[in-house]
Amino acid sequence: DAKTTQPPSMDCAEGRAANLPCNHSTISGNEYVYWYRQIHSQGPQYIIHGLKNNETNEMASLIITEDRKSSTLILPHATLRDTAVYYCIVWENTGFQKLVFGTGTRLLVSP
């Protein structure tokens, strides 16, 4: 079962920042937070991951709270092509490789 809770849907205006929250209150010390997204009719795409510190790459920023019980994925300037389902996943590097996806957040970016 997924260890994360996400809102089922969110809206964002094009050009504005999209802030997608995720709760993972039972996260353990060895578990990373991963974000993937799935654009319609495509396979999921990796966005970013982090353990404790905030992370930024060319796609997004990941803000993890100090107690690590929640995180926020930030798309700084959302475009129409960012319309997708966004999945927040916790993953522990213990040798098991499977990613456990929940139902994600459906982000709709509108003009």
Site for other proteins, rule CB under 8 A: 2, 32, 34, 41-46, 49, 51, 85, 87, 91, 93, 96-104
Provide, rounded to whole angstroms, the least separation between the CB of residue 12 and other proteins: 21
When the beta carbons of 8 and 111 are compared against other proteins, the nearer one is 8
* Tokens (6 digits) for 94: 């213990």
Provide, rounded to whole angstroms, the least separation between the CB of residue 89 and other proteins: 9
Q: Which amino acid is at 29?
A: G
When the beta carbons of 2 and 14 are compared against other proteins, the nearer one is 2
Provide, rounded to whole angstroms, the least separation between the CB of residue 61 and other proteins: 17
When the beta carbons of 79 and 93 are compared against other proteins, the nearer one is 93
